[in-house]
């Protein structure tokens, strides 16, 4: 794919999108922020990345990013996942921005399915990739009808759905994509983040932007805004249960973990889903022996990690991430055209 590596060839614009497309996304983003949780339709032209593979998030990132930004891209919490690498490559190729795996060092984080474990700040923006922006799809297939339901704030069928869930299974069975009410007005699909991450949307310091490319919708949860998962008084919203589990790499007991089976022993193992956080904790535990990273504390107040967990056998995961500096170095050969294609 010839993303402007040759000055003689007609280059692509800074951040790939033409300025008209960026402006439209920018206008729609402002409306999304002004009406928290409301899904704003946008044109969403095709990108060289397939629909359903993060084109909504990409378009938002491309519309807001500037040369001074520091970018982090994650998929399932992991910086090294092939899809994250692919998206980061496209953004770096067309903008030349610096990249990082460290949540604290990033100014823009684009993510699929996770919100980083470490609390984000007000000078950062989290861009979430969304496959299905409509929370009411659980109960209504028609877009015309769900739009009306949002207009009238008629969420009764969603409540009934949850109620029937409880009657049938004794519990609300929604895993990820947990419907949440923003600013006591609009119901959103928070994208397929686990329930673990849902409380992080509530009264946050950070601006959350959601992009659904294939479905052509943008929405936002501004900072300091109520974002409440639907729950009943007697059937509370609950995050995933990792009681008694600890990460085999860093020993954390207060993070969202992936379970996997060890190929030789068949034993079930748990590892942090947020690879950047896990790496940092490991580095710190190596340099400071038993000291562990400052526990940021889950919003629901889970227990801080136990020191003895860190002495548990730590197995190395085979990783060969591209380093941030290596990627930045490769940029020098890349032409960044700062002029609009006319």
Partner 1 sequence: MGYVAVAGGEEAITNAEALVAFYRLKGGSTPVQVRQIREQMRLAVDKVMSEGSLYAPGIAALALKQAEGDGIEASFIVRAYRATQPRRYVSLPVDTRQMRVIRRISGAFQDVPGGQVLGPTRDYTQRLVDFALLGETPELAAGFFKKIGVQTSRSALPDTFPKVIDLLRREGLMAEPGDRDRALSDITREAISFPCNRSAKLQSLARGETGVMMALAYSSMRGFGDIHPYLGELRVGTVPLFINHRAKKHPVYLGPVLVTEAEIISGQYEDDQGIPKLTLGYGLCFGHNELKAIAMGVLDRTMQSQAPQRAPAEDEEFVLYHIDGIESSGFSAHWKLPHYVTFQSTLDRLRRTQKLKEEADTLGREPEPETPGL
Partner 2 sequence: MGTNLESNFDQVFTSQQIYRLLLDAMARPGKIVTLARLEIDPPEGLSWSIAGLAFTLLDQETTFAALPDHESWGHYLCLNTGSRQAAVSEAEFIIIDGRVDLPELLVVNRGDLLFPDRGATLMVMVSSVGGDGADNRLTLQGPGIPGQVSLTLGGLCPGNLERVQTLNREFPLGVDLMISDNRGALVCIPRSSAITAEVNG
Residues forming the active site: 37, 247, 250, 272, 278
Task: Say how far apart CA 61 and CA 54 lie, in whole Å.
Answer: 11
Long-range contact pairs involving 331-337 (C-beta distance under 8 Å, separation at least 24): 331/92, 331/93, 331/96, 333/5, 334/4, 334/5, 334/93, 334/96, 335/4, 335/5, 335/6, 335/7, 335/11, 336/4, 336/14, 336/94, 336/95, 336/96, 337/4, 337/11, 337/12, 337/13, 337/14
75: partner contacted, choices partner 2, partner 1, none (Cβ within 5-8 A by kind) = partner 1
From 16, 29, 130, 248, residue interacting with partner 2 (rule: CB under 8 A): 29
Nearer to partner 1 by Cβ, of 225 and 282: the residue is: 282
Q: Give the footprint of partner 2 on residues 36-95 (CB under 8 A).
A: 36, 38, 40-41, 64-67
Beta-carbon contacts of 322 under 8 Å, excluding residues fewer than 6 positions away, are 80, 85
Nearer to partner 1 by Cβ, of 171 and 308: the residue is: 171
Indicate whether 34 belongs to the interface with partner 2 (CB under 8 A).
yes
Nearer to partner 2 by Cβ, of 78 and 181: the residue is: 181
Residue 42 three-state SS: coil
Q: Report the number of secondary-structure helices (H) and strands (E) in the chain.
A: 7, 12
Residue 269 three-state SS: strand
Indicate whether 173 belongs to the interface with partner 2 (CB under 8 A).
no
Binding segment for partner 2 (CB under 8 A), chosen from 32-40, 70-78, 236-244, 272-280, is: 32-40
243: partner contacted, choices partner 2, partner 1, none (Cβ within 5-8 A by kind) = none
Indicate whether 30 belongs to the interface with partner 2 (CB under 8 A).
yes
Binding segment for partner 2 (CB under 8 A), chosen from 173-181, 182-190, 237-245, 293-301, is: 182-190
Which has the closest alpha carbon to 27: 59, 68, 58?
Answer: 59
Binding site for partner 2 (CB under 8 A): 13-14, 19-20, 23-24, 26-36, 38, 40-41, 64-67, 122, 125, 147-148, 151-152, 183, 185-186, 203, 207, 220, 222-226, 338-340
């Amino acid at each position: 794919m010839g993303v402007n590596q040759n000055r003689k060839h007609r280059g692509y614009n800074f951040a790939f999108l033409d300025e008209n497309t960026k402006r439209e996304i920018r206008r729609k983003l402002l409306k999304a922020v002004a009406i928290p949780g409301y899904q704003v339709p946008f044109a969403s032209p095709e990108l060289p990345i397939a629909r359903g593979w993060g084109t909504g998030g990409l378009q938002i990132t491309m519309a807001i990013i500037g040369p001074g930004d520091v970018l982090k891209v994650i998929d399932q919490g992991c910086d090294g996942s092939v899809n994250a690498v692919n998206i980061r490559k496209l953004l770096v190729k067309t903008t030349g921005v610096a990249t990082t795996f460290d949540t604290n060092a990033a100014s823009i984080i684009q993510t699929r399915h996770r919100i980083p474990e470490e609390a984000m700040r007000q000078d950062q923006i989290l861009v979430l990739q969304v496959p299905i922006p409509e929370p009411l799809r659980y109960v209504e297939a028609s877009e015309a009808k769900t739009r009306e339901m949002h207009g009238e704030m008629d969420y009764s069928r969603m409540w009934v759905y949850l109620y029937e869930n409880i009657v049938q299974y004794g519990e609300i069975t929604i895993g990820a994509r947990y419907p949440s009410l923003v600013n006591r007005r609009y119901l959103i699909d928070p994208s397929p983040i686990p329930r673990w991450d849902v409380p992080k949307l509530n009264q946050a310091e950070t601006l959350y932007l959601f992009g659904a490319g294939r479905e052509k919708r943008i929405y936002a949860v501004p900072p300091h805004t109520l974002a409440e998962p639907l729950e009943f008084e007697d059937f509370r919203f609950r995050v995933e249960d990792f009681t008694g589990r600890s990460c085999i790499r860093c020993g954390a007991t207060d993070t969202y973990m992936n379970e996997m089976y060890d190929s030789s022993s068949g034993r079930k193992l748990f590892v942090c889903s947020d690879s950047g956080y896990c790496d940092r904790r490991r580095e710190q535990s190596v340099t400071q022996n038993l000291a562990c990273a400052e526990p940021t504390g889950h919003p629901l107040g889970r227990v801080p990690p136990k020191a003895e967990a860190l002495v548990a056998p730590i197995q190395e995961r085979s990783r060969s991430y591209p380093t941030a500096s290596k990627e930045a170095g490769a940029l020098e050969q890349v032409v960044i055209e700062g002029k609009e294609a006319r």
